[in-house]
Structure 1
């Protein structure tokens, strides 16, 4: 099996056909919290000139995975209709909906976050990536980012993620599964 590099992934994304009738190429990057999704999304976005929509703009500690209807209405649906996406970003600090964000239709948009390649979104996704990282590493990364006080929330969040992974099997649905413990080489 060839080595997975950022260059290979960019080539695969470029070669991926658009879903019928769509003018925006949507790329899903999924994985559990702390797996390395955001890092990968930033790297790919820079390399291919894509915009990124984090699912964290929709999720909340007390509602980690039940935001998909709003995401469909404000992001996926408009892109499927070749219209701009317009959504209200969730602010994790104030725990309220914050500013509105508009993402123009066309080009490539990366949807990054836990459950980004859920079954509901798959018909609109041109390419699907799953970042797989052991639970202990993910938890350590998450607590380093969010602070030790976030431990109880991480316990709840990880239980929700486990249920999602068991129900939807995102790694099996992905076009590419990446090891999130290793940095991705440029070439």
Structure 2
């Protein structure tokens, strides 16, 4: 079962310091009511840590929620290259076209990456919703953090997350071993050393 633990030392806005997966929807909806406007929920963690699984679950059980997939803002080419800051994550476009206008209930347009064509897809209108869920590597960066109302870190060790991610790729017939070894693992380590994304999260999410 997934368990979210609020980080020690932060101001508690909830009476409990540990919540189960079943509590997360209520917690997020409480935050929405408190904010009095649409809110953004950021879910980040290492590749293979379970970000998408949690986001899909929350999108299915939270009324009025919308999920934005991480791959929609992940450049197919640059995400396969070495960088210290996950350069392939297009945070500026995510903030400008999605996060900021969503929080302000402002009309906006955006484009998702079309991975089959390896280029940006058609222009879409940003849908209206109460809660926007975004699951993405490299999300907890200064450029994006101020536009995230609730933050969850998938608290899975890099080694374990890597094993899970590689197993997932193999089950899908993808041979990404060299990418994991030479690009993604080093990118995760560099990003963690420079930006300490784990400490930026409001909640840890672990699997028991």
TM-score by length of 2: 0.75
Of residues 5, 11, 23, the one that matches 1:8 is: 23
Match of 2:205 in 1: 178
Deviations 1:72-113 (A, max 9, x none): 221123224422443211123332222334332341010111
| 8 Å Cα contact 1:128-1:176 kept in structure 2 | yes
Of residues 169, 173, 180, the one that matches 1:154 is: 180
Report the Cα offset of residue 37 of structure 1. Answer: 0.6
Match of 1:46 in 2: 60
| 8 Å Cα contact 2:92-2:143 kept in structure 1 | no
Greater shift in the superposed pair: 155-164 or 43-52: 155-164
Aligned residue pairs, count: 180
Q: What SS does the aligned partner of 1:115 have?
A: coil
| 8 Å Cα contact 1:19-1:125 kept in structure 2 | no
Report the Cα offset of residue 3 of structure 1. Answer: 5.1
Change (3 A) 1:134 1:162: same
Q: Does structure 1 residue 31 correspond to structure 2 residue 45?
A: yes
Of residues 112, 127, 133, the one that matches 2:156 is: 133
Change (3 A) 1:52 1:84: farther
TM-score by length of 1: 0.82
Greater shift in the superposed pair: 116-125 or 166-175: 116-125
Q: Distance in 2 between matches of 1:11 and 1:56?
A: 27
Q: Does structure 1 residue 55 correspond to structure 2 residue 70?
A: yes
Q: CA RMSD in A?
A: 2.5
Report the Cα offset of residue 19 of structure 1. Answer: 9.3
Runs of 5+ in structure 1 lacking a partner? 183-187
Which has the larger Rg?
Answer: 2
| 8 Å Cα contact 1:19-1:124 kept in structure 2 | no
Match of 1:100 in 2: 123
